[in-house]
Amino acid sequence: MGSEPVEPDATEALVERARSGDRTAFEALVRATYADTYTLAIRLTGDEEDARDVVQETYLRAYRGLKRFRGDAQFSTWLYRITANCANTHLGRRARHRHDELTDETPLVDERPGIDPQHRAENEALRNRLRVAIDELPPKLRAVVVLRDVYDLPHEAIAEELGISETAAKVRLHRARRRLREVLYPDHVSPVDGAGEGGVVSAM
């Protein structure tokens, strides 16, 4: 059961109706976005159970806080921010971290026509390794790199939702990126690598 995509205009109309108290409109928004929200939640938590809890909490907060949504950002971006905040709170509450295997059902191959098969295979391999590498990051680093590099949230929003300073968000992003590069391209390690965060070189 996947999300039911709706056009941006339709989303705006649904948001407007939901803001004025129409619960069926909010439910339509949930149907349209829950798979995306779940995807972000699982990327942030690295765990299916945690992701389910985060999704529930996210929509509950969104429902209660919808009147505060002024529409200056997209609804999806607003929802991502709530998801990030919920995941942060959730992970903070549960000081444990489990790693689940990646599901084989996830489409990872670039199916666009005209893409060279070898190039496609390389991309697929990189994305597979990347997903594992992201999952292996400490939650604090993972949250920042996922929100910035996958979901394109500004540093300011990331800092706000994670309850950290913008400088801290930038430092974490820098560390996360360095770690990912070290894990994905271990043959190429510059002299600065391995410094801080325990060093990936020693961890491999």
| Site of interaction with other proteins (CB under 8 A) | 1-3, 23, 26-27, 30-31, 34-36, 38-39, 42-43, 48, 51-52, 55-56, 59-60, 63-64, 103, 105-108, 110, 123, 126-127, 130-131, 145, 149-152, 174, 177-178, 180-181, 184-185, 188, 190-193
User: Which token pair is 126?
Assistant: 């990189």
Q: How far is the CB of 151 from other proteins (least distance, A)?
A: 6
Residue number with CB closer to other proteins (110 or 156): 110
Residue 155: which residues within 8 A CB-CB, separation 6 or more?
A: 148, 166, 169, 170, 173
Distance (Å, whole) CA 189 – CA 204: 12
Q: How far is the CB of 59 from other proteins (least distance, A)?
A: 5
Q: How far is the CB of 129 from other proteins (least distance, A)?
A: 9
> Is there a contact between 155 and 166 (Cβ–Cβ < 8 Å)?
yes
Report CA-CA distances (Å) from 35 to 67, 81, 112, 150: 23, 16, 22, 16
Q: Among 33, 39, 27, which residue's Cα sits nearest to residue 5?
A: 33
Residue number with CB closer to other proteins (95 or 117): 117
Q: How far is the CB of 149 from other proteins (least distance, A)?
A: 4
Residue number with CB closer to other proteins (95 or 185): 185
Residue number with CB closer to other proteins (4 or 16): 4
Distance (Å, whole) CA 163 – CA 169: 10
Residue number with CB closer to other proteins (184 or 203): 184
